[in-house]
């Protein structure tokens, strides 16, 4: 069983490159630990992992002695988590619920101690309702701890060339980028908010106190294998670069763009801009 969410996490995020998958998971382990540390999770508490995906945060919480409710819109990913939990011998401390972040109807009021998300609100149109749901399911004194990329930061300067210097091939990359922007324009949930919105939303639904940490990075992009770069996608809702090029360029244009882009990707030359936010707060 699969869907766009499962297919992306299983294959399309890394283009099927096992070495790159290990690199991604190593990076995400740091995010997981930070989210759990900010939540001040204690053994025996119940944690709701909203948008659990393949269980990165949830299994980290299990290792810390918590009971975990895995929640996701993907039955396929919930099945993956259930299998992993069974294999690890921790199924008795797990529950699995199909639910959206903005509609946690399967979770009772005031029933969990911690709510976590990692890169989930970027897919949620009604973020205010999601925060209200987080607040509803938490017990008094419960904590929310989230991580979200702030894709709005640097979006214009990343521009049509994704931060790479492409010379005469810039107009070709602009054609490819236009296809992505048609799928996810400036009004898309992925880019329609920033860190100040997260802070406001948390306060508006009643969280207090609240801490938000925003970090902006302007640095060279990581060097990448060309085949991995070509056959991976940035999120579940967009095509791979290979797919986008095939849809928007002629064969001759694809060759020209590849000749300009591939060396920059493999060398890691250019300027990459990205923001990220951690927010943690308490339900009084």
Give the residue from 178, 112, 174, 173 showing the smallest Cα distance to 144. Answer: 112
Give the bridge partners for 103, in sequence order: 100
The pTM (predicted TM-score) of the whole model is 0.95
- For the chain, 284 residues long, give each residue's pLDDT as a single digit of tens: 899 999 999 999 999 999 999 999 999 999 999 999 999 999 999 999 999 999 999 999 999 999 999 999 999 999 999 999 999 999 999 999 999 999 999 999 999 999 999 999 999 999 999 999 999 999 999 999 999 999 999 888 887 789 998 999 999 999 999 999 999 999 999 999 999 999 999 999 999 999 999 999 999 999 999 999 999 999 999 999 999 999 999 999 999 999 999 999 999 999 999 999 999 999 99
pLDDT tens-digit readout, 105-153: 999 999 999 999 999 999 999 999 999 999 999 999 999 999 999 999 9
The rounded distance, in Å, linking the Cα atoms of 109 and 140 is: 11
The rounded distance, in Å, linking the Cα atoms of 282 and 267 is: 44
The burial of 132, by beta-carbon neighbours within 10 Å (0-12 exposed, 13-18 middle, 19 or more buried), is given as middle
Which domains are assigned to the chain? 4-282 (3.40.50.150)
Kindly state the tokens that stand for 121. 């609100």
């Amino acid at each position: 069983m699969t869907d766009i969410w499962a297919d992306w996490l299983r294959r399309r995020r890394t283009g099927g490159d096992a070495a790159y998958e290990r690199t991604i998971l190593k990076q995400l382990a740091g995010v997981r630990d930070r989210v759990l540390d900010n939540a001040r999770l204690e053994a025996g508490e119940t944690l709701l992992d909203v948008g659990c995906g393949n269980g990165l945060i949830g299994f980290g919480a299990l290792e810390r002695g918590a009971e975990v409710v895995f929640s996701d819109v993907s039955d396929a990913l919930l099945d993956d988590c259930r299998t992993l939990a069974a294999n690890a011998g921790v199924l008795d401390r797990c529950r699995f619920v199909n639910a959206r972040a903005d509609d946690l109807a399967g979770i009772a009021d005031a029933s969990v101690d911690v709510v976590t998300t990692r890169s989930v609100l970027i897919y949620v149109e009604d973020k205010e309702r999601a925060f209200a749901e987080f607040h509803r399911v938490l017990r008094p004194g419960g904590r929310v701890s989230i991580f979200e990329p702030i894709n709005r930061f640097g979006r214009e300067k990343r521009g049509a060339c994704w931060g790479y210097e492409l010379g005469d091939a810039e107009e070709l990359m602009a054609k490819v980028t236009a296809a992505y922007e048609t799928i996810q324009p400036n009004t898309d949930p992925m880019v329609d908010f920033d860190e100040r919105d997260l802070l406001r939303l948390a306060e508006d639904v009643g969280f207090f106190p609240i801490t938000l940490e925003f970090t902006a990075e302007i640095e060279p992009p990581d060097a990448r294998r060309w085949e991995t770069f070509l056959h991976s996608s940035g999120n579940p809702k967009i095509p791979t670069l290979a797919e986008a090029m095939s849809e928007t360029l002629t064969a001759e244009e694809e060759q020209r763009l590849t000749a300009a882009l591939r060396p920059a990707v493999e060398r890691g030359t250019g300027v990459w801009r990205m923001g990220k936010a951690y927010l943690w707060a308490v339900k009084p």
